[in-house]
Amino acid sequence: KNHFQILVVGGGNGGISVAARLLNHDSKLDIGIIEPSDKHYYQPAWTLVGGGAYDIKKTVRDQADCIPEKAHWIKDRVVTFEPDQNALTCADSGRITYDYLVVAPGIQLDWGKIKGLRENLGQFGVCSNYTFASAPYTWQTLRSIKRPVKAIFTAPNTPVKCGGAPQKIMYLAADYLKKQGLLSKSEVHFYSGGGVIFGVKKYADVLNQVVANYGIHTHFNHNLTEIDGRNQMAFFETRDQDGEIRQVVQKFDMLHVTPPQSAPDFIKNSPLAVIGNPLGWVDLDKDTLQHNRFRNVFGLGDAGSTPNSKTGAAIRKQAPVLVKNLLALMQGQALGQVYTGYGSCPLVTGYGKLVLAEFDYNNNPMETFPFNQAKERHSMWLLKTKVLPWLYWNKILKGTA
Ligand code: FAD
């Protein structure tokens, strides 16, 4: 079969949520999902895996059990798009045409942009929670610490999936060191390519307090450029007040890296990308999630240009908007649904405590619960560790939440 009424690119959080919702609405829709991976991952729990608070095996399921039964799974990867011909090309299956296209291929981790990162990841204390393969090594490194250490946590200057993840693992690590009686003699550093701890003031205030309580040293506008694993040295670049680039070198015992990120190359190099933006996001209308130039194309999730925080939580609000607008277009009606930019970040601040940040495009808080969410709470930790994983597998991927 080489034509579908609706073709979905990517069977991750966004692609499956949309396909399931469409089929819940009308099980006769002819939907193809192009997804190369045998496995489906619940990525938000990798932070907990890195902190030794979640079993990595519970973060993966067979993709075959996640793809909606009534959708057609094309186990392949897209290589090029011809949106003016309503067609795309896959590596093995060749050219496939569609009436409508939904683009949700996730974000690309640009490991190669930091010299020495790929080679050293998983040894010499160089960790990253950003993949299924590497997240367990973060915990292995942390739990083997028996003396005061220098632990460094980095965030790049690009958008990343889950903007809070680079610091959540830092708070878990600091709390772990505290519980071992090692924190006061250890050094914990946060090197970030960004300019502030968090974009929403209400939550930044509480995070600055958390940082101060653990005695963490913060360094903003610093980008990790190189790692020398064998000598456990990290190299950063920052700009002086006079605009000169200055290099900073730090020894480390543990280095947790959040790699720079961008849209996948096959999106960047396609007509679907925002013109003139090197990060190459899918060019979407931020309200309707329709492509800005190709009217029968929609998109959501981490690869989209919408300026929300790139999280699964955002997808939970994007999917119903996209589905209603796509169905409206199919029926020749106006697109009536608007995505407000909702994003959420469950900011783990230590073992058993969490600040649940929720906000919109304008960084205005959009809170779910009838209490002040800018407070560390045990109930929100239970939400993250127990409720949200259940919700993901049983409701979000089924298109019912
Ligand atoms: P993904 O779920 O990544 O899916 C993209 C899919 O596209 C993949 O299955 C991939 O195989 C497929 N694909 C790739 N290339 C191709 C191709 N060429 N052709 C076809 N298909 C392709 N979110 C939260 O809400 N809360 C959190 O606490 C949180 N914490 C996080 C912590 C970490 C460490 C990480 C890594 C992520 C976290 N997230 C969190 C973010 C969340 O996981 C993502 O925002 C979400 O998975 C994005 O969904 P997506 O569908 O856009 O991409």
Instruction: Tell me which H or E stretch contains 318.
Output: helix 312-330
Q: Would residue 90 show up in a list of annotated catalytic residues for this protein?
A: no
Q: Name the residue at shortest CA distance from atom 11 of ligand 1.
A: 37
User: Which of 17, 98, 162 is the pocket-test mutation for ligand 1 (most atoms within 8 Å of CB)?
Assistant: 162
Listed in sequence order, the residues at least 6 apart from 97 whose beta carbon sits closer than 8 Å to its beta carbon are 2, 3, 4, 85, 86, 87
pLDDT tens-digit profile, the chain (401 residues): 999 999 999 999 999 999 999 999 999 999 999 999 999 999 999 999 999 999 999 999 999 999 999 999 999 999 999 999 999 999 999 999 999 999 999 999 999 999 999 999 999 999 999 999 999 999 999 999 999 999 999 999 999 999 999 999 999 999 999 999 999 999 999 999 999 999 999 999 999 999 999 999 999 999 999 999 999 999 999 998 888 999 999 999 999 999 999 999 999 999 999 999 999 999 999 999 999 999 999 999 999 999 999 999 999 999 999 999 999 999 999 999 999 999 999 999 999 999 999 999 999 999 999 999 999 999 999 999 999 999 999 999 999 99
- Cα 175 to chain centroid distance, Å, stands at 24
- pLDDT at position 196, please? 96
ipTM score of complex: 0.99
Report the distance separating Cα 228 and Cα 255, nearest Å.
11
Q: Would residue 66 show up in a list of annotated catalytic residues for this protein?
A: no
Q: Residues of CATH 3.50.50.60 domain(s) within the chain? A: 3-107+263-339, 109-261
Angle at 80 between CA 76 and CA 82, to 5 degrees: 125
- pLDDT at position 136, please? 98
- pLDDT at position 241, please? 86
Ligand 1 atom at shortest distance from the alpha carbon of 165? 32
CATH code for the domain defined by 109-261: 3.50.50.60
User: Which of 35, 63, 345 is the pocket-test mutation for ligand 1 (most atoms within 8 Å of CB)?
Assistant: 35
Ligand 1 interacting residues, C-beta cut-off 6 A:
9-15, 34-37, 43-44, 46-47, 77-78, 104-106, 129-130, 161-162, 165, 264, 266, 301-303, 310-313, 315, 346
Q: Considering 66, 90, 127, 162, which one is annotated as catalytic?
A: 162
- Asked whether 159 and 258 are in contact (CB, 8 A), the reply is no
- How many angstroms does the Cα of residue 151 sit away from the middle of ligand 1? 27
Listed in sequence order, the residues at least 6 apart from 246 whose beta carbon sits closer than 8 Å to its beta carbon are 237, 238, 239, 240
- For residue 47 the two structure tokens come to 């932070």
Q: Considering 66, 90, 127, 345, which one is annotated as catalytic?
A: 345
Q: Name the residue at shortest CA distance from atom 28 of ligand 1.
A: 44
Name beta bridge partners: 73.
33
- How many angstroms does the Cα of residue 127 sit away from the middle of ligand 1? 19
Q: Name the residue at shortest CA distance from atom 25 of ligand 1.
A: 312
- Asked whether 380 and 347 are in contact (CB, 8 A), the reply is no
Q: Name the residue at shortest CA distance from atom 2 of ligand 1.
A: 12
The domain 3-107+263-339 belongs to what CATH superfamily?
FAD/NAD(P)-binding domain (3.50.50.60)
- How many angstroms does the Cα of residue 210 sit away from the middle of ligand 1? 28
Q: If DSSP states are collapsed to H, E and C, what string results for 120-164?
A: HCCCCCEECCCCCCCHHHHHHHHHCCCCCCEEEEEECCCCCECCC
- How many angstroms does the Cα of residue 376 sit away from the middle of ligand 1? 26
- How many angstroms does the Cα of residue 15 sit away from the middle of ligand 1? 10
- How many angstroms does the Cα of residue 86 sit away from the middle of ligand 1? 25
